[in-house]
Homo-oligomer: A and B are copies of this chain.
Amino acid sequence: MQIKDLGEFGVIDILTRMVIEQRAGPRNAQSFSFNLMVDNGDDTAAWNPGGPIVNELFTTDTMVEGVHFTRKTTPWPDLGWKSIVSNVSDVASMGGLPAYALVTLGLPPDVEVADLERLYQGMMEASNEYGLAIVGGDMVRSPVVFITVALTGVMLGQPMLRTGAQTGDLVAVTGYLGSSGGGLKLMQSSRSEKGEAADYLRLCHRRPRPAVAAAKTLVEAEVSTAMDVSDGLADDLAKLCKASGVAGQIFADRLPLHPFLSSQFPKDCVDLALGGGEDYVLLFTGHPAKINHVVSELPEGAAVVGEVLAGEPGQVIVVDAQGNEMPSPKRGWDHFGTNRR
Contact = CB atoms under 8 A, between A and B. Distances in A.
A137 interface: yes
Contacts of A62: 104, 106, 138, 140, 148
Interface string A30-69: 0111101011111011010111001010111110101110
Contacts of A33: 54
Interface residues of A, number: 92
A54 B58 contact: no
* A interface majority secondary structure: mixed
A23 interface: yes
A29 B99 contact: yes
A146 to B, nearest CB: 6
Contact of A1 (B40, B113, B141, B146): B113
A99 B32 contact: yes
Interface of A: 1-6, 8, 11-12, 14-15, 18-19, 22-29, 31-34, 36, 38-42, 44-45, 47, 49-51, 54, 56, 58-62, 64, 66-68, 97-100, 102, 104, 106-107, 109-114, 116-117, 120-121, 124, 127-128, 130-144, 146, 148, 150, 152-154, 335-336
Given A26-B132, A58-B150, 19 more contacts: A2-B111, A3-B107, A8-B139, A14-B117, A18-B117, A18-B120, A23-B133, A32-B54, A39-B135, A39-B136, A44-B136, A45-B135, A49-B51, A60-B136, A60-B137, A102-B150, A104-B148, A144-B144, A148-B150
